[in-house]
């Protein structure tokens, strides 16, 4: 008997499906069976406009024959303000009976009245939409959903859609596991993309605080608006952030899109400043101001969402078009910033065109088209961050180059070109710095050396050999002194050596003798070899004098005194 009853149930289900297939409205019926976890209802939808807002459920049932194919692309009726009734005939098999979730997977529907009719009898009536209290939703999720009970046989769904914005209607019937799986997948996706946006926001604010580059502040505004638009568009904001706040529900889409466009204009103007003429830069700032004023106007209800949509359609691409000459100029120079801008704008144009097409009822509404703008905006956020980092790196390189040029000029101005030693100017700087550190326990010794016998070498072998001799002398002096001691050439064959940090005067004498010993061996350079000596005079600070000029003069005077006494002498000032 059990097997016979099972066969009879299967037979009744087959008869039901066949009758539905042969009936005049068979092609429009949605079939609920035991095999499908989700049934897309749009292929079975018929629509009836209600511009006067006077049709009730009784009239809608009586006017079935006046329902026709929906105007517009798949699952979208565009920006039409008028109320629309939708009719969906449903055929349920024995295996398909039970609970099904009616789901409108578009969060910004303001009001949808659901009427479940069986044999012309109203089985259930439910009001959905984001203007209803969140706690009153049959299923408290980001989309608008309600569980309905279907018995074997034919039934009808009549849906009254009343919303000011786009009538995007991806409507389906799903078993609970399929509904939950799809809802969790969407929330996982939204969580991942929102987390990425939050990370980019924190990074940009940190860079702004650290580098004081206003480009990062403009980028942060762009990220906030882009992320908040998606949070609102996909119902996450109503679910977690501004639950039951009617102002946010009415205005977030318009305000975030307008402010994102303003931030984009400011970002482009800043990032391409060097490649845009001043009129384009002023125009970009003007576009940003226009969008900012429009955002304020929309926030105080001076303009509605339709006006915002018109404004964004006409001016949303203005920052890209105005920045294009600068991006092309950079790209032609081989600057990757220009290439990245072009890639970002191309992606934004495609994503925006798809989204506008869906909103206006010209492009089918499905997972990819509904997420196209979010994916495009995420790509743009990543590209714009790349542009900001490249701009920062370029500025850092420019700063390094400027510092290198400055250091090079400073080095040239303070270095002897022949020997590579510091010159008189460099000596003055080093000496003044060293004198600031002297004390009775930290003595500074300054030695002035003049070569003995350099002029005959110069006269006999020529200036090239003389220059070579001076370079070798410089090398010996460096090798003779300690690592922190300074060696300078202040002109001709005259050198100065500075030694600081001495603890007693005897150390100064020892270093002076070491300088004299540096000239004991012959100087060999190339094919030439010659011997020269040096006369050294030195003075101590603070023991003898403590002024830089006075210290040099004192050591110079001691050196000339040594010259008068003979060659290869070491004399201290005042000794």
Say how far apart CA 121 and CA 156 lie, in whole Å: 10
Catalytic, 493? Answer yes
**Dihedral sign of CA atoms 493, 498, 504, 510 in order:** negative
Look-up of token digits 């002076």 = 512
Say how far apart CA 169 and CA 340 lie, in whole Å: 36
Say how far apart CA 172 and CA 15 lie, in whole Å: 25
Say how far apart CA 163 and CA 26 lie, in whole Å: 30
Residue 520 Cα distances to 79, 476, 535, angstroms? 99, 11, 12
**Dihedral sign of CA atoms 246, 247, 251, 253 in order:** negative
Catalytic residue (choose from 493, 544, 547, 556): 493
Smallest CA-to-CA distance from 531 within 469, 465, 464, 460 is with: 469
Say how far apart CA 160 and CA 67 lie, in whole Å: 13
Residues in the chain: 575
For the record, the structure tokens of 228 come out as 């908040």
- 560 CB-contact burial (10 Å; exposed 0-12 / middle 13-18 / buried 19+): middle
Peptide bond into 371 cis (omega under 30): no
For the record, the structure tokens of 24 come out as 């005049």
Q: Is 98 left (phi over 0), alpha (psi -120 to 50) or beta?
A: left
**How is residue 442 annotated by DSSP?**
B
Q: Taking a C-beta distance cutoff of 8 angstroms, is the pair 143, 60 a contact? A: no
Sheet holding 38-40, edge to edge: 38-40, 171-174, 98-104, 144-150
Smallest CA-to-CA distance from 266 within 294, 233, 291, 247 is with: 291
Q: Taking a C-beta distance cutoff of 8 angstroms, is the pair 37, 174 a contact? A: yes
State the distance between the two ends of the chain, measured CA to CA, in whole angstroms. Answer: 134
For the record, the structure tokens of 201 come out as 């926001």
For the record, the structure tokens of 51 come out as 């511009």
Catalytically active residues, by annotation:
493
């Amino acid at each position: 008997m059990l097997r016979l009853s099972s066969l009879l149930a299967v037979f009744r289900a087959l008869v039901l499906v066949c009758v539905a297939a042969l009936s005049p409205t068979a092609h429009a019926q949605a079939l609920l069976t035991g095999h499908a976890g989700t049934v897309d209802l749009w292929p079975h939808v018929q629509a009836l406009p209600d511009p006067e807002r006077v049709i009730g459920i009784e009239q809608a049932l009586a006017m079935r024959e006046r329902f026709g194919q929906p105007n517009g692309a798949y699952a979208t009726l565009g920006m039409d303000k008028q109320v629309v009734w939708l009719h969906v005939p449903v055929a349920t098999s024995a295996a398909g009976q039970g609970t099904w979730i009616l789901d409108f997977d578009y969060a910004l529907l303001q009001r949808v009245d659901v009427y479940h009719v069986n044999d012309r009898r109203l089985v259930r009536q439910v009001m959905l939409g984001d203007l209803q209290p969140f706690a009153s939703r049959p299923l408290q999720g980001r989309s608008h959903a309600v569980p309905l009970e279907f018995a074997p046989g034919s039934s009808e769904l009549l849906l009254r859609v009343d919303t000011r914005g786009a009538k995007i209607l991806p409507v389906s019937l799903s078993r609970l596991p399929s509904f939950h799986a799809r809802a969790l997948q969407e929330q996982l996706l939204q969580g991942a993309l929102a987390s990425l946006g939050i990370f980019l926001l924190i990074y940009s604010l940190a860079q702004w605080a650290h580098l004081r580059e206003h480009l990062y502040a403009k980028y942060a505004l762009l990220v906030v608006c882009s992320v908040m638009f998606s949070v609102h568009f996909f119902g996450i904001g109503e679910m977690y952030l501004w639950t039951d706040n009617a102002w946010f529900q009415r205005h977030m889409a318009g305000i975030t899109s307008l402010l994102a466009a303003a931030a984009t204009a400011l970002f482009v103007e800043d990032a391409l400043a060097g490649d845009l003429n001043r009129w384009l830069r002023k125009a970009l700032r003007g576009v940003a101001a226009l969008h900012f004023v429009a955002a304020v106007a929309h926030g105080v209800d001076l303009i509605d969402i339709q006006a915002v949509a018109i404004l964004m359609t006409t001016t949303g691409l203005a920052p890209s078009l105005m920045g294009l000459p600068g991006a092309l100029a950079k790209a032609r120079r081989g600057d990757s910033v220009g290439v990245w801008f072009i890639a970002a704008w191309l992606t934004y144009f495609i994503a925006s065109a798809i989204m506008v097409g869906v909103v206006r009822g010209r492009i089918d509404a499905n997972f990819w088209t509904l997420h196209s703008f979010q994916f495009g905006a995420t790509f743009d956020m990543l590209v714009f961050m790349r542009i900001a980092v490249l701009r920062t790196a370029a500025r850092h390189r420019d700063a390094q180059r400027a510092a290198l040029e400055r250091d090079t000029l400073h080095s040239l101005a303070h270095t002897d070109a022949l020997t590579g030693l510091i010159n008189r100017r460099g000596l003055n700087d080093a000496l003044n710095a060293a004198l600031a550190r002297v004390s009775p326990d930290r003595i500074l010794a300054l030695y002035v050396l003049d070569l003995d016998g350099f002029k005959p070498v110069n006269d006999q072998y020529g200036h090239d050999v003389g220059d070579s001799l001076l370079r070798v002398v410089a090398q010996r002096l460096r090798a003779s002194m300690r690592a922190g001691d300074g060696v300078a050439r202040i002109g001709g064959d005259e050198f100065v050596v500075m030694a600081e940090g001495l603890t007693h005067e005897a150390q100064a004498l020892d270093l002076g003798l070491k300088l004299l010993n540096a000239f004991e061996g012959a100087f060999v350079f190339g094919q030439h070899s010659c011997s020269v000596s040096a006369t050294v005079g030195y003075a101590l600070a603070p023991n003898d004098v403590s002024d830089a000029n006075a210290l040099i003069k004192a050591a110079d005077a001691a050196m000339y005194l040594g010259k008068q006494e003979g060659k290869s002498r070491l004399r201290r000032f005042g000794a």
